[in-house]
Structure 1
């Protein structure tokens, strides 16, 4: 029996979500205000980023400030009380925060992703309920991926239990789940002889949910991207949102997810370049063969800084261009408009990957051995860039772009493109 075609009314009893936020978030009046708020928060977050990374101090206070600013609600549509921010604004906010602290920039990525899944496939009552939760300051995490197998098949099961449903399984790379009030979880269930995927919004403190802080990646250390275990966890039918069905028609879920990843990479690269400039001016020694008194006057260093600045400007321009394609596809999702958005986002993703890795590597090449001292924490930019850019292979972005240009092939529709 299909969940989508024959939804079961939610029972009156509600499983209690996690403790409510300390305060209701600010209401941002327009996109410009959102960007200003992000700039202000970035300035507050940046000074402590290295220390948080080195000590692996989880950023609870910073997340509370981030949510209180209203920025976690900017993608909620206006008809539901949100800002309904453009994709360009959402990407700009993400890049600004990521430049200050790559982990803080990534933590809400799946929160926004879940809101897009809800916008595309959720019922009006589901949208109203979860949008209200976000407007009240609640955070979404994620439990999408699984490890231990060479395929991408999901094995976490959703099964009928009386008037409700139960979840059994284990997830990893659960970015943001540690900090979340709700954990949107990708599950599979049997319908008419085939497996169908749904996104179940699970309260963080529901019985049977165990969030394990076992993320030990070399970068993005504070994203909470560890494990979540579901042991016969009860969920209500109203919390189960169609997922697979949203990809059986033109959907912007994929390019929406990817533009945020591109923005995170752009931001990490911007942070690395911003850290390079003062160190090169004030601390780096010129190479003896240059005959110069200041490393900042070295023409070879100047040339490389120029290259990085051009890369940054180009990646930023491609990101804003991709956002325009994405906004158009969200308004009118057709086979062609969604494909064009996916290709534009893939182009931005390719260059933002290159820029973040290049900027975080050249930081050391230009600033020298002194920049590697542990107390500075400058290695976090490279570790964060290298870790996050592995989310999905950039070589396949170039393949998607090339196949579209050469053979007019539309890219596949899934959550990773």
Structure 2
């Protein structure tokens, strides 16, 4: 990976608006794209890739401008994730999860807590990871007087070894009270296991983690004051927000697949010998397929942008978020998640119909797009997203806030 562009970023004026940051993300994607297929095959820990995100300023996109952050909003963050995912789905996921975990203090914590976290994160360019897999038994949290300890195991911890800080989640022993806390990723008792070996999203550092009495001061227990949690409806927006992050990198991967395939078709695909056309780009079925897939992708992107704007209105006035507003927003998120899943899977599998048999060569790496989408879209069954939409249409039922809705 070239370092020339990184050095140039450090001497240039940072973007000041959404278009500028999206343009910066496209530049980063250009660097990532040069060896994306090779890095996917190697499966090495993406230290250099995360440093690229830091050097470009993208890690502080949502941070307060007063402390060196980009001061941007969530619709811009989703667009940035899409741009990065066009080149590398794994790095797009890492960046998207980073944005969510960076924002988690604001979602769950007190004003004093999240202001401190966001200021420190922006000044120090922290990269966030998270050990918050809800499918595992909850990590046990114990009250040790002035501190609390986290003990247990999570089978997924995206960002693990490349993160500066990690968001932990657990339940106080003998209760149903959950607690989040942000700790340095090199904290004593926090052990990341190098066991992420899946067919897609290979560079996300999503292996398991063991927590063996990780100690956190009570002051860092997000949203707790005098050992009591102060709930808000806004706390429950963590799921719709991360689901829109998923949408962003699904659509980014699909766009990257379509762009990469189009280059291949223009320069490498051969027309069918019995089709009567000299070039693949002139074959009717090829033209039709690209038109069909592009139209579907553009429609899903437009819906994603619309729903992102709806969500931003909730982020701008957290204390005014009602259960009704939150539920209606989750229905919209469920709809776009379902469409993005279907479109991304279709695009990444059908590109081979218009690139030809030789495009399946391992050296081309076109399969990485489908592998990445297929792997992550299994995160939670899309049928349940469609069900949320259907029930709301038929009975006005709002989804109950859970770890997945």
TM-score by length of 1: 0.87
TM-aligned CA distance change 1:159 to 1:78, over 3 Å:
same
Q: In structure 2, how many angstroms separate the alpha carbons of the residues matched to 1:70 and 1:168?
A: 34
**Deviation readout 1:120-152 (Å, 9 max, x if unpaired):** 221233213311231121111010116xxxxx4
1:216 lines up with 2:203 in the alignment? no
* DSSP-derived class of the 2:130 partner: coil
Instruction: Return 178-187 or 91-100, whichever deviates more.
Output: 178-187
| Partners of 2:15 and 2:356 in 1: CA distance | 43
- Name the Cα RMSD after superposition: 2.3
> Among residues 376, 380, 385, which one is paired with 1:392 in the alignment?
380
How far apart are the structure 2 equivalents of 1:201 and 1:294? 56
2:270 equivalent to 1:285: yes
> 1:145, 1:173 within 8 Å by CA — same for their partners in 2?
yes
Q: State which of 173, 183, 196 in structure 1 corresponds to 2:177.
A: 196
Contact 1:25 1:137 in 2 (8 A): no
Structure-1 separation of matches of 2:403 and 2:312: 17
Q: What is the TM-score of this pair, normalised by structure 2?
A: 0.90
Within a 5 Å distance, the mapping from 1:78-89 to structure 2 comes to: 82-89=69-76
Unaligned runs of 5+ in 2: 1-9
Displacement after TM superposition at 1:409 (Å)? 0.8
Gap change, CA 1:88 and 1:238, over 3 Å in 2: same
Cα separation, 1, equivalents of 2:305 and 2:285: 31
Q: Which residue in the other structure is 2:233 paired with?
A: 249
Per the alignment, residue 322 of structure 2 pairs with 334
- Tell me if structure 2 keeps the 8 A contact 1:73–1:82: yes
The residue number in structure 2 matching 1:186 is 169
Residue in 2 aligned with 1:95? Answer: 82
Report the CA distance between 1:153 and its aligned residue: 5.9
Give every structure 1 segment of 4 or more consecutive aligned residues whose post-TM-superposition deviation is greater than 6 Å: 23-26, 243-248
How far apart, CA to CA, are the structure 2 residues paired with 1:305 and 1:350?
21
CA shift for structure 1 position 86: 2.3
> Does the CA contact (< 8 Å) of 1:318 and 1:344 recur in 2?
no
Tell me, in whole angstroms, the C-alpha distance in 2 between the residues paired with 1:246 and 1:99: 40
Q: How far apart, in 1, do the equivalents of 2:401 and 2:269 lie?
A: 48
Post-superposition shift, 1:27? Answer: 5.4
Aligned equivalent of 1:412:
400
Structure 1 window deviating more from structure 2 (180-189 vs 333-342): it is: 333-342
Matches within 5 A, 1:50-89: 50-77=37-64, 82-89=69-76
Asked if structure 1 preserves the Cα contact closer than 8 Å seen for 2:46 and 2:162, the reply is no
Matched, 1:169 2:158: no
The 5-angstrom pairing of residues 335-354 of structure 1 reads 335-354=323-342
Please tell me whether the aligned partners of residues 153 and 211 of structure 2 are also in contact (alpha carbons under 8 angstroms): yes
Task: Between 346-355 and 378-387, report the one with greater CA deviation.
Answer: 346-355
Quick one: distance in 2 between partners of 1:247 and 1:64?
36
In 1, are the aligned partners of 2:136 and 2:155 still within 8 Å (CA)?
Answer: no
Cα distance change of structure 1 residues 28 and 312 upon mapping to structure 2, 3 Å threshold = same
Following superposition, the deviation at residue 226 of structure 1 comes to: 0.1
The alpha carbon displacement at 1:324 in A equals: 1.3
Secondary structure at 1:241 match in 2 = coil
Deviation of 1:346 after TM superposition, in Å, equals 1.7
Displacement of 1:308 after TM fit? 0.6
1:287 Cα deviation (Å)?
2.3
> How many residues matched?
388
Name the CA distance, whole Å, in 1 between partners of 2:277 and 2:81: 39
Aligned residue in 2 for 1:107: 94
Equivalent residue number for residue 126 of structure 1: 113
Q: Structure 1 CA distance, aligned partners of 2:210 and 2:63?
A: 29
Secondary structure in 2 matching 1:384: helix
Q: Note closer, same or farther for the CA distance 1:43–1:114 as it changes in structure 2 (3 Å cut).
A: same
Q: CA deviation at 1:245?
A: 6.2
Are 1:75 and 1:85, in contact at CA under 8 Å, matched by a contact in 2?
A: yes
Cα deviation, residue 111, structure 1:
2.0
Number of the residue aligned with 2:249: 264
Q: Which runs of 5+ in 1 are unaligned?
A: 1-22, 147-151
SS of 2:176's partner is: strand
* Post-superposition CA distance 1:225-246 (Å, at most 9, x none): 0011111221122222149968
Q: In 2, distance between residues paired with 1:120 and 1:374?
A: 43
